[in-house]
């Protein structure tokens, strides 16, 4: 026997459970209030005359933000997404549009957004027609109407989190609902008032000249903020008095502002809002005004966003990385249009090829070598080959579907996760290290599972020999998932924005690609005949395969050191030594076995209680060795640092990496440490930033999402005024040097 079979099921289930965040804590709640770490959202109503045909009634979503967090207006500005409300109402009841309160301008680096901080109420008129039939009241109760709302919003600070909630509120049909009267009154006061005169807008070269008349006399002479309802028309981050000017001539307000560098619209009528500064607002007086101004003159040719990357990506790699990134991420929580068939077919092909190439990744070698040995042991038994291939394929595909489904579900619930997320948990890393230690000890001959396991387990194993092949497929996925092979990155990133059924098809294709060589070997006799016949060489190969297992343990301990520090890695090594000693003790005979095993188990328990917490502790990530070099070549990545460097006109190279990503480490040592490549970086004065995703980091996850990726490695080269360039996963020296030469 090669290694334990039935017992692996228990270990793998424990590993999978440890790798999953508490889904129950992330799932959207249903009720009148939904609370997240960033906002408190509540469905509220105001019906002073009750809910009846012709009566005035309002409902709305009130969002209270944590300090420094914000959500967005109908035009989010340079990045972000407006809050969306989807209502479920009884027949004969409908809602109007959101009566958006006037927003504020939120500068972020060299960009700007329009949104809300502190507390905002988004009111919506509730319209009850004569066709509405009130429900029957229960005995002794008051008839009521249920209003249901599904809302999604993007809440941002330095990072952004797509969130959603489901709300239900019962409105009594008789009597007043005025608990939130003050909130609705405040929201009404913040509504832009319509101007009697529409004003006018003239296109003047690369600027807009706006003229408004009919503003109140109390406003004249004041500085006004300007908010276009149509996105990507003006340069949102333009600063009054510097990039755009405004003046008063009697009762006429005139302003000139620059057009957006990448304009997406050339409207003939531009809805707009102007508002007083906070300091100039008076209680009980209007604070903002709205007009729909006709546009005259000829628009200059629009400059579309560069084809290489989306506008969201362009923003994500500068000051507001997380905003644009999570705008893309939040799309996975809403209804998306159907993807073009050709695009989806290409993504399926990419996933299949990526899974096939995973077989060449170093992290998968130990498991695949064992599979080859297993095939050799069954030489000449075509039926056994076919069954083993099918069982292994089933284990691989079901595991990919389980991991992919868990990742999609948790992301939809607000968790910032990506591919390989299970190795971001120190507990999972420690469990895998223990598992591979046991496999290595078994392969080297320290113990035989048949001698250590109860007879009932061995009997079950004999009755279900395919469990070994199935579970080896599961184990292959657990180890392979942190790797990202060529073609995988784009397909997995594409899966994030697809409906669940299509996304799971991509994960299934990925699993089929990983299992395909062994599935083919099981059904094509010519492939199986290439394997040597069973013989004494198999015992030597079995013991030899123990060393890749121990090498995997060393890699996992190193990963844990990146997450929990040197104390965590040292503790894990001590506990693994204890585990090996316990396994050895059970191979002894007679009373000696019982005495020594009992002592070792007790010692291990005491040691675990004393220092075991070091393994699971989360410490501040130490800078990578490359970051501590004398010239500080590598700097830690952050959206603010990218913004600062871009604002200074300096090119930026970003390495999205993780300690558990073998491909990342290979590229780091082979390509990114090459003297010629580093000389080219220096010659072009490129700032080198490293985004370390070894542990879960929502900001990095958001930036990866904006790139259309869900795992590492990812390499991005960005220069001011040029489209960011995303390089391949297997990074070549020539590729990097060519990208640098094009700056």
Q: Where are the domains of the chain?
A: 6-22+338-616, 32-133+144-175, 194-296, 625-741
CATH of 194-296, one of 2.60.40, 1.20.120, 3.40.50, 3.30.1490: 2.60.40
Token pair in block for residue 319:
């000051």
Nearest by Cα to 163 from 61, 89, 16, 315: 61
Measure the CA angle with vertex 18, ends 17 and 23; round to 5°.
65
What three-state secondary structure class fits 151?
Answer: strand
Instruction: Tell me the average pLDDT of the chain.
Output: 75
Is-contact 575 608, C-beta < 8 A? yes
Distance CA 30, CA 42 (A): 11
Please tell me the pTM assigned to this model.
Answer: 0.43
Cross-strand pairs, 41: 34, 63
Decide which of 725 and 518 is more confident.
725
Looking at residues 613-622, what average pLDDT do you find?
66
pLDDT-derived band of residue 42, with 50, 70 and 90 as boundaries?
Answer: very high
The helix (H) or strand (E) run that includes residue 504 is: helix 500-523
What percent of the chain is predicted at pLDDT more than 70? 72
pLDDT of residue 67: 87
Structure tokens at 270: 């531009």
For residues 226 and 238, the answer to whether their CB atoms sit within 8 Å is no
Token representation of residue 264: 């997406």
Residues 6+ apart with CB under 8 A from 288: 102, 190, 191, 192, 193, 273, 274, 275, 276
Q: What is the side-by-side strand order in the sheet with 652-657? A: 634-636, 687-692, 652-657, 714-718, 725-727
Mean pLDDT of 478-496: 57
Short-list 167, 192, 209, 173, CA closest to 28: 167
Across the range 299-322, mean pLDDT stands at 45
Contact 690, 628 (CB under 8 A): no
Whether a cis peptide bond, with omega within 30° of 0, leads into 713 is: yes
DSSP H stretches of helix in 535-638 = 537-544, 546-585, 590-611, 613-616
Q: How far apart are CA 648 and CA 109, in angstroms?
A: 11
The class (CATH top level) of 32-133+144-175 is mainly beta
Closest to 529 (Cα-Cα) out of 379, 370, 377 = 379
Please answer whether residues 473 and 392 qualify as being in contact, where contact means their C-beta atoms are separated by less than 8 angstroms.
Answer: yes
Q: 75-79, 308-312, 662-666 — which is least confidently predicted?
A: 308-312
Query: Residue 480 pLDDT more than 80?
Result: no
Residues 6+ apart with CB under 8 A from 358: 364, 480, 483, 485, 488, 510, 513, 514
Distance from chain centroid for Cα 346: 22
- Yes or no: say if 446 and 584 are a contact pair by the CB < 8 Å rule: yes
* DSSP labels, 286-299: --EEEEEEEEESPP
Say whether pLDDT at 12 is over 60: no
* The predicted structure's pLDDT at residue 535: 64
**% residues pLDDT > 90 (the chain):** 13
pLDDT at position 725 is 86
Between residues 482 and 730, the one the model is more confident about: 730
Map residue 30 onto helix, strand or coil: strand
What is the tens place of the pLDDT at every residue in 210-219?
999 888 888 8
| pLDDT reported for residue 509 | 84
User: What would the DSSP string read from start to end of 310-344?
Assistant: -HHHHHHTTTTHHHHHHHHHHGGGS--PPPPHHHH
The pLDDT value given to residue 564: 76
The separation between CA 485 and the C-alpha centre of its own chain, rounded to angstroms, equals: 19
Name the strands in the sheet holding 30-31, side by side, starting at the edge strand that comes first in the sequence.
Answer: 30-31, 160-172, 144-156, 84-88
Strands 288-296 and 652-657: unpaired
Q: Which residue has the higher pLDDT, 648 or 524?
A: 648
Asked whether the domain spanning 625-741 has the same topology as the one spanning 32-133+144-175, the reply is: no
Rounded average pLDDT over 515-526: 76
Residue 401, pLDDT above cutoff 70 = yes
pLDDT score at 303: 52
The rounded radius of gyration (Å) of the Cα atoms in the chain is 31
Contacts of 467 (CB under 8 A, 6+ apart): 5, 6, 9, 391, 461
3-class DSSP state of 7: helix
Q: What CATH code would you report for 625-741?
A: 3.40.30.10
Q: Is the pLDDT of residue 680 over 60?
A: yes
């Amino acid at each position: 026997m090669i290694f334990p079979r039935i017992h692996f099921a228990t270990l793998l289930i424990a590993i999978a459970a440890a790798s999953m965040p508490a889904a129950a804590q992330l799932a959207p709640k249903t009720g009148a209030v939904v609370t997240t770490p960033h906002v408190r959202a509540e469905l509220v109503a105001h019906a002073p005359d009750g809910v009846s045909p012709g009566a005035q009634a309002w409902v709305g979503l009130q969002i209270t933000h944590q300090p420094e967090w914000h959500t967005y207006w109908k035009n989010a500005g340079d990045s972000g997404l407006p809050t969306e409300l989807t209502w479920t109402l009884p027949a004969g009841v409908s809602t109007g549009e959101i009566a958006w309160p006037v927003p504020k301008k939120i500068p972020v680096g060299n960009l700007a957004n329009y949104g809300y901080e502190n507390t905002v109420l988004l009111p919506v008129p509730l319209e009850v027609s004569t066709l509405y039939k009130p429900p029957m009241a229960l005995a002794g109760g008051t008839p009521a109407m249920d209003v249901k709302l599904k809302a999604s919003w993007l809440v941002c600070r330095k990072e952004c989190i797509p969130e959603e909630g489901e709300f239900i509120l019962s409105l009594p049909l008789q009597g007043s609902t005025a608990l939130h009267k003050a909130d609705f009154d405040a929201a009404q006061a913040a509504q832009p008032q319509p101007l009697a005169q529409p004003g006018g807008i003239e296109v003047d070269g690369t600027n807009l000249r706006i003229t408004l008349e009919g503003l109140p006399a109390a406003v004249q002479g004041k500085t006004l903020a300007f908010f276009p309802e149509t996105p990507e028309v003006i340069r949102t981050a333009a600063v009054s008095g510097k990039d755009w000017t405004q003046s008063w001539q009697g009762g006429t307000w005139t302003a000139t502002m620059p057009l957006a560098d990448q304009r997406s619209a050339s409207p003939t009528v531009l809805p707009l809002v102007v508002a007083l500064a906070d300091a100039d607002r008076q209680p009980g007086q209007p604070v903002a005004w709205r007009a729909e101004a006709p546009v005259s003159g000829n628009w200059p040719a629009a400059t579309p966003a560069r084809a290489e990357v989306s506008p969201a990506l362009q923003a994500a790699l500068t000051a507001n990385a997380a905003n644009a990134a999570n705008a893309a991420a939040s799309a996975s929580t809403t209804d998306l249009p159907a993807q073009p068939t050709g695009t989806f077919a290409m993504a399926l092909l990419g996933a299949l090829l990526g899974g096939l190439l995973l077989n060449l990744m170093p992290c998968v070698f130990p498991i695949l070598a064992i599979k080859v040995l297993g095939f050799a042991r069954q030489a000449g038994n075509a039926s056994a080959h076919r069954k083993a291939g099918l069982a292994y394929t089933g284990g691989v595909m079901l595991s990919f579907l389980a991991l992919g489904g868990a990742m999609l579900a948790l992301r939809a619930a607000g968790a910032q996760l990506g591919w390989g997320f299970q190795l971001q948990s120190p507990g999972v890393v420690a469990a895998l290290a223990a598992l591979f230690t046991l496999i290595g000890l078994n392969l080297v001959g320290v113990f035989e599972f048949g001698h250590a396991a109860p007879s009932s387990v061995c009997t079950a194993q004999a009755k279900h020999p395919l469990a070994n092949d199935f579970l080896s497929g599961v184990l292959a996925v657990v180890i392979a998932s942190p790797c990202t092979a060529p073609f995988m990155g784009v397909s997995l990133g594409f899966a994030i924005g697809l409906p669940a059924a299509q996304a799971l098809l991509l994960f299934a294709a990925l699993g089929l690609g990983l299992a395909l060589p062994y599935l083919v070997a099981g059904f094509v006799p010519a492939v199986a005949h290439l394997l040597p016949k069973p013989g004494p060489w198999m015992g030597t190969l079995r013991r030899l395969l123990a060393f890749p297992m121990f090498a995997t343990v060393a890699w996992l301990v190193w990963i844990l050191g990146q997450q929990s520090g040197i104390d965590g890695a040292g503790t894990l090594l001590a506990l693994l030594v204890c585990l090996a000693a316990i396994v050895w003790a059970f191979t002894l005979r007679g009373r000696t076995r019982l005495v020594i095993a009992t002592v070792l188990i007790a010692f291990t328990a005491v040691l675990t209680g004393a220092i075991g917490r070091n393994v699971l502790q989360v410490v501040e990530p130490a800078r990578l060795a490359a970051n501590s070099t004398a010239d500080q070549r590598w700097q830690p990545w952050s959206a603010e640092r990218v913004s600062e460097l871009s604002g200074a006109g300096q090119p930026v190279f970003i390495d999205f990496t993780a300690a558990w990503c073998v491909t990342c480490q290979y590229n780091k040592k082979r390509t990114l440490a090459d003297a010629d490549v580093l000389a080219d970086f220096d010659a072009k004065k490129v700032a080198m930033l490293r985004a370390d995703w070894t542990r879960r980091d929502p900001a990095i996850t958001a930036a990866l999402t904006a790139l259309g990726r869900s795992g590492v490695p990812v390499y991005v080269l960005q220069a001011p005024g040029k489209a960011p360039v995303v390089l391949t996963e297997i990074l070549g020296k020539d590729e990097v040097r060519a990208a640098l030469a094009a700056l």
